[in-house]
Amino acid sequence: MNSYTIRTASWQDDHLALRMVREAVFICEQHVPVELEWDECDARALHLLAIDLVDNPIATARLLPEGVIGRMAVLKEWRGRDVGGALLLRLLEEARKRQIHQITLSAQLHAVPFYAKFGFQITGEEFMDAGIPHVRMNLRLS
């Protein structure tokens, strides 16, 4: 049995939990400027939220209607426990349900091997986003 569950989340209803994870990972840990973390896409995205056995938020990710995965964050103490992989598989399942055939994401360089395990391929040159090196990666869904 997993020590966490993943559910779909609504920005309107769950923004405090979603923000808590993203603030801890992106703003506090990775020093992403606050003004770069929040955007208008949150209101229209499908969000997933992973929670532990006592309903504490531990991870999140979002899928935009045009097939862009982003804002994938797992709290430090939960990394290495396959929470990120479970989130990603669930996002891909949600994309298939929505008949999205092409998934794109911007991967931090250290995360490229993680996404490659799921079939994502690098499709562009390295670029900086919020002071962190990234590459664009794509996955064609069948």
For residue 48, the cross-strand partners are 8, 61
pLDDT digits (tens, 9 = 90+) for 28-46: 999 999 988 989 999 999 9
Element (H, E) at 122: strand 121-122
**Spatial CA neighbour of 74 closest among 122, 42, 30, 43:** 30
pLDDT digits (tens, 9 = 90+) for 69-92: 999 999 999 999 999 999 999 999
**Spatial CA neighbour of 54 closest among 1, 4, 13:** 4
C-alpha dihedral, 57 to 58 to 63 to 64, nearest 10°: 60
Q: Mean pLDDT over residues 49-60, rounded?
A: 97
* Residues found in the chain: 142
Pairwise CA distance, residues 69 & 22, whole Å: 14
Helices (H), 1-142: 11-22, 34-37, 83-97, 112-116
Q: What is the pLDDT of residue 95?
A: 97
Strands, E, within the chain: which ranges?
Answer: 4-9, 46-52, 57-63, 68-74, 102-108, 121-122, 127-129, 132-140
**142 pLDDT more than 90:** no
pLDDT digits (tens, 9 = 90+) for 108-117: 999 999 999 9
Q: What is the pLDDT of residue 2?
A: 77
Q: What percent of the chain has pLDDT over 90?
A: 94
Encoded tokens for 136: 């664009």
> Which CATH code of 3.10.20.10, 3.30.930.10, 1.10.760.10, 3.40.630.30 fits the domain covering 4-140?
3.40.630.30
Q: What is the pTM of this model?
A: 0.94
Confidence at 1, pLDDT banded by 50, 70, 90: low
